[in-house]
């Protein structure tokens, strides 16, 4: 009898929680997708390291990793637009390394 009361109580709590969440999650304002923007300003290939050269460098620092390398590396400098902490749009840059196949 006590177990049945507990099950009913949990069922009521779960139902109230579900109703509350469904009401709270509804909004009057539709979410609109941001306007598409061109964010990439430029991309420049800055280096290409062949597999043999990469293995030589890795062998000097940690020889156990050298056999794991299968490809060289191509390095690209990317310049892109992003928002600064104050909301202004600025150019930022980063380095992208991808396997050279």
Tens-digit pLDDT profile for residues 14-42: 566 555 555 555 556 666 656 556 689 99
Is residue 57 within 8 A of residue 17, CB to CB? The reply is no
Q: How far is the CA of 53 from the CAs of 48, 73, 81, in angstroms?
A: 10, 10, 34
Q: What is the reported pTM?
A: 0.57
Q: At residue 97, does pLDDT exceed 70?
A: yes
């Amino acid at each position: 009898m006590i177990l049945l009361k507990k099950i009913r109580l949990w069922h009521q709590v779960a139902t109230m929680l579900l109703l509350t969440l469904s009401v709270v999650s509804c909004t009057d304002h539709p979410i609109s997708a941001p306007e598409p923007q061109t964010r990439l300003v430029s991309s420049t290939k800055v280096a290409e390291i062949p597999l043999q050269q990469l293995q030589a460098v890795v062998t000097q620092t940690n020889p156990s990793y050298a056999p794991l390398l299968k490809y060289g590396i191509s390095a690209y400098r990317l310049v892109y637009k992003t928002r600064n902490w104050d909301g202004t749009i600025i150019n930022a840059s980063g380095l992208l390394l991808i396997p050279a196949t």
